[in-house]
Structure 1
Amino acid sequence: MHQSGTQRLAGLCQVTEHLFLSNGRAANDKANVSRFNITCIINATQDNTKMSTAELEYVNIPVTDSPSSLLSDYFDEVADKIKLTGEQYGHTLVHCNAGVSRSATLCLVYLMKHHGMTLLEAHKWVKSCRPIIRPNSGFWKQLIQYENKLYGCATVTMITSPIGEIPDIYEEETREMFPL
């Protein structure tokens, strides 16, 4: 389920029937939260500022957007929380500061664990909903390890590029930026 251009501009993107992805600004917009019937917000930043409302569950995942951050410590907890919220007819909004790396990574994990998608499929799906996603290289390594744990194989590998280690799905994009 994809959203209109207006919803994309609002910074809030619908990933599945009950999962949304956004930046921090859109997540803190009470009108957005109300309009999309958000019942659970997962904040993947070190800022634990909560919106005050009795109907809204708030989960803080206190990680920085650094390749050395162990976001994988929270993969199962977050994926299971998103699933449980959906089973209870709620909607989850996952956000970080920009809605590009941490929150996108957590959405990829959910799709792999609870929708049976490979990492490559999950990335294509979330990127089609929010074209600006770009998990950092450390999160990619953790995603690849997680896919191996779930399925015993990996659909994405890390490669060496002029800008350091990147997932192979970025290879063409990087070649365009740094022609030989």
Structure 2
Amino acid sequence: MAGTVLCEPSELYNILNQNQRYSRLTEPNFLCVIDTRAEGPYFCSHIITAKHAKWGSDGKWIIPADVEVESMRYIIVYDSNTSSLQDSGPATDYAESLAKASRHPVQILKGGYERFSAIYPFFRNQKILYTIRELESLEPYPVEILPGQLYMGEFRQAANPQILKDLKLTALINVSDDLMLENGKLTVLHIRVSDSVDADLSSSFESVCNFLTSHLEARSVAFIFSTHGISRCSVLAMAFLMHHLQYTLKEAWDHVQKCKANMRPNRGFVQQLSSWELCVLGKKITDISEPNY
């Protein structure tokens, strides 16, 4: 039995926005979101792609026929507002029934639908069934590095006015090969560095950290993006976490990788982050010769 754990809203948000060529929601065994509220609230509005939990004639929960619980990577269950594993309610009951067959812990959304929909209202809808083509056409949002403060992603997301509006973005760091269109509501720091092992990104670490610190202190919401949202932007996100939260390189790496599973800085940038760790923390703590790096 894999057991149950709580899932923060930002964790579900990031899982929903994992992508490679297409959104990972197209993968049949990647994510299953289950809504255990009554039919009325569910049909009125629910978290995107969520299935409705049903009762059997024997008074027990029915597992959706198209959900392979044993092989599903993420199963996230929610009700209206459950906030603790000790709470008694439909979310905890249903999660415990699924956990008996799951290889991974079944997650219960902390704060339920009420909290998630208040933070991310643009990730709720009334749609029940999706075709593969519809899932492929979903536009992933930038992942959330610091909840409500810092996001990371790719150029096409920065060029999408709806995403800028939904996330209330006002401060952007552009480390892509593309130029942003002028927008008087945005403050943009453009760092022109190629994604190559010989490129010098470390000389921008201090200015990036100062830029982000000043904007976050002013309660602005910031977004770091590169062309594909995998290498350069992840380096700057890690450099900021090391500076802002005194993370080791390993801690920053694990944090950003949890937010965006396919992030992958090139080897030259990893070495620059190692030197930044020495600069920020006074010593090199992370062994970048390990295969993970």
Where on the TM-score scale, by shorter chain, does this alignment land: which range? 0.7 to 0.9
Q: Which residue of 2 aligns with 1:2?
A: 11
1:26–1:55 CA distance, 2 compared to 1 (3 A): same
Relative contact order (C-alpha < 8 Å, sep 6+): which is higher? 1
> Could you say what the CA RMSD is over the residues aligned between the two structures, in angstroms?
1.6
For residues 133 and 15 of structure 1, the distance between their equivalents in structure 2, rounded to whole angstroms, comes to: 12
Give the match's secondary structure for 1:2. helix
Give the match's secondary structure for 2:171. strand
For residues 46 and 102 of structure 1, the distance between their equivalents in structure 2, rounded to whole angstroms, comes to: 11
Is the 2:177–2:226 Cα contact (8 Å) retained in structure 1?
A: no
For residues 146 and 291 of structure 2, the distance between their equivalents in structure 1, rounded to whole angstroms, comes to: 23
For residues 52 and 153 of structure 1, the distance between their equivalents in structure 2, rounded to whole angstroms, comes to: 41
Write out aligned runs for 1:49-128 (5 A). 49-128=179-258
For residues 12 and 185 of structure 2, the distance between their equivalents in structure 1, rounded to whole angstroms, comes to: 25
- TM-score when normalising by structure 2: 0.53
Structure label with greater radius of gyration: 2
For residues 281 and 212 of structure 2, the distance between their equivalents in structure 1, rounded to whole angstroms, comes to: 20
Identical counterparts, % of pairs? 24
Q: Which residue of 1 aligns with 2:161?
A: 30
| Count of residue correspondences | 162
Partner deviation per Cα, 1:47-99 (whole Å, 9 max, x = no partner): 2x223322111110000000111000100101111111111111110000111
Give the match's secondary structure for 2:172. strand
Unaligned runs of 5+ in 1: 160-167, 172-180
Write out aligned runs for 1:121-136 (5 A). 121-136=251-266
Q: Which residue of 2 aligns with 1:162?
A: none
Unaligned runs of 5+ in 2: 1-9, 24-139
More helix by share: 1
Is the 2:201–2:269 Cα contact (8 Å) retained in structure 1?
A: yes
- TM-score when normalising by structure 1: 0.84
Runs of 4+ in 1 over 3 A off after TM superposition: 5-9
Q: Which residue of 1 aligns with 2:115?
A: none
